[in-house]
């Protein structure tokens, strides 16, 4: 037995009887030893990701009833998620983002129609590969799928515009399997104001939005406050009867002025309510210097494209863009994501943080060491290095989000 295997065996023994105070001091291990342990933890622990944009990638990539161009049951050259890489990384339950672009809001019925079609596509993925994927509508479903080695596909709707102007659609989408709704996306909608929009249509949550939150509480859909404006955030927190989530938001401390991330005030208020924020891995979410650099790079690349008569899909352009970006705006690293987790933990403790990668939604900006779902162990190894215990990591991986999800289920059950 080599050194690493005996180390893992020893750790396994400790994990199984959980004598907390005699747990290995991971900070004393080498990086290679910690990575081995992190891989073991990733495989043996349920891991939930609050936000993966696979359904929209499938829509664009053509996973339709007629054609299967994009098949994520096998390794895919592009994108951040597929079955083999998810297995490698130990990711068991990526929330499938049923993403509705704000552009659909202008056309009555278009948001709901798109949500329905993305839900069908997600169900079709599970039905086409029942030995690999399964739908999941509760923490109990995720646990049962995990025991069978299946990757769960719980669903969250990103943009409450899918509800259109009809409160009855909250219950409809619960029946369709939606388990969280992000109240807005990039633009103000009927429910409330969005962080990327400066219009201030309602000054926060609208009167209709208040009814939506109450109805989500009643039927058992988690309230997701990623993307909303600070005022909408505060208004929703003030009226919800159960803890909330932020499915893919990072800490504003590292990106001053970026309202899409959560301020310390909001993190504290969310924690007092018992909620959980799931950290977004996107480079522009975790590092303001990278965000500033990437807008400069984008401007240069657009000019280069025009000057040289190239299009975005030309291989010559793509090669130039990759080289230019790497030289002029280096990616943040996996350590930066751990900094966000550290910050939340230092502010409100270990019970209010999780992973909400935004994989398949922020592809080009992902940090070095965390480019796709296979690389979760790198982040876990970094947390071990910083002194996080296995119990802490289990909370981040699934126990925190399960606590909120169960509280939402329990409240809904009490209302029937
Ligand atoms: Zn988003």
Cβ neighbors of 201 (< 8 A, separation 6 or more) are: 188, 193
Ligand 1 centre from 81 Cα, in Å? 16
Ligand 1 centre from 168 Cα, in Å? 25
Query: Which tens digit of pLDDT belongs to each residue from 41-77?
Result: 999 999 999 999 999 998 887 554 444 568 899 999 8
What pLDDT does residue 314 have? 87
Ligand 1 centre from 171 Cα, in Å? 23
Ligand 1 centre from 121 Cα, in Å? 19
Q: What is the mean pLDDT of the chain?
A: 93
Question: Quick one: average pLDDT of 198-208?
Answer: 97
Q: What is the distance between the alpha carbons of residues 294 and 172, in angstroms, rounded to a whole number?
A: 40
Ligand 1 centre from 248 Cα, in Å? 7
Ligand 1 centre from 39 Cα, in Å? 28
Ligand 1 centre from 158 Cα, in Å? 7
CB contact at 8 A, 121 and 63: yes
Exposure string (b/e) for 323-357, b if CB count within 10 Å is 16 or more? eebeeebebbbbbbbbbbbbbbbeebebbbbbbbb
Ligand 1 centre from 40 Cα, in Å? 30
Ligand 1 centre from 236 Cα, in Å? 18
CB contact at 8 A, 119 and 178: yes
- The pLDDT > 90 percentage for the chain reads 86
What pLDDT does residue 69 have? 64
Ligand 1 centre from 307 Cα, in Å? 32
Ligand 1 centre from 185 Cα, in Å? 7
What pLDDT does residue 14 have? 47
Ligand 1 centre from 227 Cα, in Å? 7
Ligand 1 centre from 22 Cα, in Å? 41
Cβ neighbors of 208 (< 8 A, separation 6 or more) are: 165, 167, 190, 191
Ligand 1 centre from 258 Cα, in Å? 14
Ligand 1 centre from 17 Cα, in Å? 40
Ligand 1 centre from 24 Cα, in Å? 38
What pLDDT does residue 77 have? 87
Ligand 1 centre from 184 Cα, in Å? 9
Ligand 1 centre from 374 Cα, in Å? 21
Q: What is the distance between the alpha carbons of residues 181 and 190, in angstroms, rounded to a whole number?
A: 14
What pLDDT does residue 72 have? 93
What pLDDT does residue 244 have? 98
Tell if the pTM clears 0.85, that is, is over it: yes
What pLDDT does residue 5 have? 45
Nearest to 396 by CA among 359, 355, 344, 345: 355
Range of weakest confidence among 2-11, 97-106, 184-193, 384-393: 2-11
Ligand 1 centre from 197 Cα, in Å? 14
What pLDDT does residue 322 have? 87
Query: Which tens digit of pLDDT belongs to each residue from 143-179?
Result: 999 999 999 999 999 999 999 999 999 999 999 999 9
Helices within 176-247 (DSSP H only): 207-219, 230-239
Ligand 1 centre from 246 Cα, in Å? 10
Ligand 1 centre from 386 Cα, in Å? 29
For the CA atoms of the chain, what is the radius of gyration? 21
Ligand 1 centre from 67 Cα, in Å? 27
Question: Quick one: average pLDDT of 267-286?
Answer: 97
Query: Which tens digit of pLDDT belongs to each residue from 4-21?
Result: 444 544 454 444 444 445
Q: Element (H or E) spanning 372, and its range?
A: none
Ligand 1 centre from 93 Cα, in Å? 18
What pLDDT does residue 150 have? 98
Ligand 1 centre from 361 Cα, in Å? 7
């Amino acid at each position: 037995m080599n050194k690493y295997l005996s180390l893992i065996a020893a750790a396994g023994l400790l994990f199984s009887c959980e004598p907390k105070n005699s747990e290995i001091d991971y900070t004393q291990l080498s990086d290679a030893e910690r990575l081995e342990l992190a891989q073991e933890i990733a495989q043996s622990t349920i891991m939930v990701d609050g936000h993966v944009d696979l359904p929209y990638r499938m829509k664009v990539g053509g996973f339709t009833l007629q054609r299967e161009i994009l098949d994520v049951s096998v390794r895919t050259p592009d994108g951040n998620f597929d079955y083999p890489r998810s297995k490698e990384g130990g990711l068991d339950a990526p929330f499938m983002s049923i993403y509705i672009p704000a552009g659909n809001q202008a056309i009555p019925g278009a948001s709901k129609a798109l949500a329905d079609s993305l839900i069908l596509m997600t169900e079709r993925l599970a039905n086409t590969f029942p030995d690999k994927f399964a739908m999941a509508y509760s923490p109990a479903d995720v646990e049962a799928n995990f025991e069978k080695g299946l990757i769960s596909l719980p669903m969250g709707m990103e943009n409450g515009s899918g509800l259109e102007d009809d409160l009855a659609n909250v219950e409809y989408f619960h029946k369709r399997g939606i388990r969280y709704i992000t109240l807005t996306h990039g633009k103000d909608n009927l429910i409330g104001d969005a962080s990327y929009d400066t219009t201030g249509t309602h000054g926060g949550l609208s009167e209709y939005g208040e009814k939506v939150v109450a109805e989500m509480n009643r039927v058992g859909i988690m309230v997701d406050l990623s993307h909303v404006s600070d005022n909408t955030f505060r208004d929703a927190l003030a009226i919800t009867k159960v803890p909330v989530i932020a499915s893919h938001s990072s800490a504003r401390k590292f990106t001053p002025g970026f309202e899409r991330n959560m301020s310390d005030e909001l993190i504290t208020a969310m924690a007092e309510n018992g909620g959980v924020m799931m950290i977004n891995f996107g480079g522009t979410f975790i590092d303001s210097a990278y965000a500033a650099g990437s807008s400069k790079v984008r401007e240069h690349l657009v000019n280069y494209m025009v000057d040289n008569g190239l299009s975005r899909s030309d291989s010559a352009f793509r090669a130039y863009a990759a080289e230019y970006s790497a030289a002029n705006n280096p990616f943040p690293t996996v350590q930066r994501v751990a900094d966000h987790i550290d910050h939340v933990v230092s502010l409100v403790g270990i019970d209010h943080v999780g992973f909400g990668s935004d994989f398949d939604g922020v592809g080009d900006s992902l940090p070095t060491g965390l480019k796709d779902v296979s690389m979760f162990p790198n982040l876990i190894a970094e947390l071990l290095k910083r002194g996080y215990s296995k119990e802490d990591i289990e909370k981040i991986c699934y126990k925190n989000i399960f606590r909120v999800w169960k509280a939402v289920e329990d409240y809904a059950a009490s209302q029937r």
